[in-house]
Amino acid sequence: MGEYRREKIWDGVTRSWHWSLVVLVSLGGYFGKFMSFSTVEWHFYCGYAVLGWLAFRFFWGLVGPQPVRLRQFLPTPRVAFTYLKSVGKREPSGTPGHNPLAALSALAILLLLLTQASIGLFISSDDFFASGPLAYLIPEDLGAALSGWHKAFAKGLLALVILHVSMILFYFFWKKENLARAMVTGWKWVKVDPDEPS
């Protein structure tokens, strides 16, 4: 097993953003699943908030600290495959930020969330609930089709979230790496580069 050192990786802005997004998506999903006349507006409010939060995250990915920059979400194929070969090792990954697979997973969640929330602006009501605020801009049959996609993407998003949580549990129990705690405290055990001068 390699040598590790404890480093402050995740800044307070990123950590607050992450857990706020978890709350917003959870509430949006709940209000969408158990929609009623009294809660449908809250589903829309959560969607608006998610769009705003995603816009901020993309901005923060341009100006924020190195570990949260957008380019960190796009590992090269060589880096991704090299990491994939070592993922079964029973030791912490020690990456200074997202590991390559987690980066791709996080990017997929962000893009699917962006698509899901954006579609929600244009859907036409296929039941007795409200339509999206921009539904009037597109043909009604397209709005109805988008409503179906909105529901399908919700299932895809749930699958990605389940995979995300499952991998966190895998890293905790198999690789002895507490990724959730790192996103709470900001501190992470990072593998020391053997070529780095001490």
- What does the alpha-carbon distance between residue 99 and residue 149 come to, in Å, rounded to a whole number? 31
- pLDDT of 150 higher than 80: yes
The pLDDT, as a whole number, for residue 28 is 93
135-155 exposure pattern, b = at least 16 Cβ within 10 A, e = fewer = beeeeeeebebbbeebeebbe
Statement: residue 193 has pLDDT above 90? no
Specify the pLDDT at position 1: 55
150-159 mean pLDDT: 92
- The two tokens of residue 2 are 């390699």
Strand partners, 187: 8
pLDDT digits (tens, 9 = 90+) for 6-57: 999 999 999 999 999 999 999 999 998 887 777 888 999 999 999 999 999 9
34-43, 54-63, 163-172: least confident range: 34-43
Of the candidates 32, 58, 13, which has an alpha carbon nearest to the alpha carbon of residue 157? 32
Q: Could you tell me which of 67, 106, 68, 99 has the C-alpha nearest to residue 84? A: 99
pLDDT tens, position by position, 97-119: 899 989 999 999 999 999 999 99
Which domains occur in the chain, in start order?
8-186 (1.20.950.20)
- pLDDT-derived band of residue 195, with 50, 70 and 90 as boundaries? very low
- The 3-state DSSP class for residue 187 equals strand
Q: Which residue has the tokens 């978890």?
A: 22
Q: Which amino acid is at 63?
A: V
> Could you say which DSSP state residue 70 is in?
G
Q: Give the side-chain half-sphere CA count within 13 A for 124.
A: 11
Give percent of the chain above pLDDT 70.
Answer: 94
Tell me if residue 109 falls in helix, strand or coil.
Answer: helix
CA–CA separation, 120 vs 47, rounded Å? 7
Q: Which of 25-29, 54-58, 135-139, 183-187 has the lowest average pLDDT?
A: 135-139
The residue among 190 and 37 whose pLDDT is bigger is 190
| Predicted pLDDT at 24 | 96
Write out the H or E segment, with its range, that includes residue 7. strand 4-8
Q: How far apart are CA 180 and CA 190, in angstroms?
A: 15
Residue with tokens 């901020």: 56
